[in-house]
A = this chain, B = another copy of it.
Amino acid sequence: MSPRWKGKAAEAKALSEPMSAIVSHLQSSLIESDSHGLLSGCSVLLAAQPEQTELFNQACFGRPVVTVEKDKQWFQLSLEEALYLCSVLKCIKVIGENKCMRNDDELWRYMTSKKADFPYLFKAYSHLRVKNWVVRAGSQYGVDFVAYRHHPALVHSEYAVLVLSGEDGCRNIRLKAWSDFHCTLRLCGSVAKTLLVLHISKKSHSAVCTSCLECYCVEERIVSRWNPEQSRENQTMVEKELCKS
């Protein structure tokens, strides 16, 4: 399935401003301003300076929060977004509820205590983000994330992403029944997305989780319906090509 741009102009705009450039611009701006996020339950709040607001929106990190403060715009980051900015892009620091700065290990433990399957979701999130995919929540489509080639204003999301793990728990029960498989594929088809299943597994069986993403590996699988008609046609085309040569 090719990307569904929201018009020709959108495609041109996306090509002229690659997501990698936008994210790296945001990254350097946040480093320069020595930005600090505040841990607040299952999210991190961060105040953006005027020039950063536009960059946050363009790079699709967080959601703007309405406050009475006129000179700064607050953004609410998900745990995955916050840890990505903090430990992968290394452009923000995060302050805990006790007003002390939390290091990567402390954040990892805090976030895993809030959401038991956080390591899997975070590995999946960062796996796609480092490849410059824009990653947003996918609950609307019954999946974990949706992935966009560029900003959602310019293009429809291409992948519906399910994060599975080989271990016990809620990351393990999706797509085990055929009816669930049929349901998910039918829905993805009707909203023109490709189902991308990310199988996350631990490399080592160390009892204590450290923040290192290297402990987890990702296996990507694209799931689509096999259409016998189409396959036969391709077969014939291959045969034709062979006959020609």
Contacts and interface: CB of A to CB of B under 8 A. Distances in A.
Interface of A: 138-144, 162, 170, 173-174, 176-187, 190
Contacts of A184: 142, 183
A151 to B, nearest CB: 24
Nearest to A143: B179
A181 B140 CA distance: 11
12 contacts: A139-B179, A140-B182, A141-B183, A142-B179, A142-B186, A142-B187, A143-B179, A162-B179, A174-B177, A174-B180, A183-B187, A187-B190
Interface secondary structure of A, over-half rule? helix
Contact of A144 (B170, B176, B179, B190): B179
Contacts of A179: 138-139, 142-144, 162, 174
B183 A143 contact: yes
A197 to B, nearest CB: 12
A29 to B, nearest CB: 35
A139 B190 contact: no
B173 A176 contact: yes
Nearest to A174: B177
Contacts of A177: 170, 173-174
Contacts of A185: 142
B173 A141 contact: no
A142 B225 CA distance: 13
Instruction: Determine which residue in A174, A176, A182, A187 has the highest number of CB atoms from chain B within 10 A of its CB, and name it.
Output: A187
Contacts of A178: 139
A142 B186 CA distance: 8
Contacts of A170: 176-177
Contacts of A182: 139-142
Given A174-B177, A179-B162, A186 B140 contact: yes
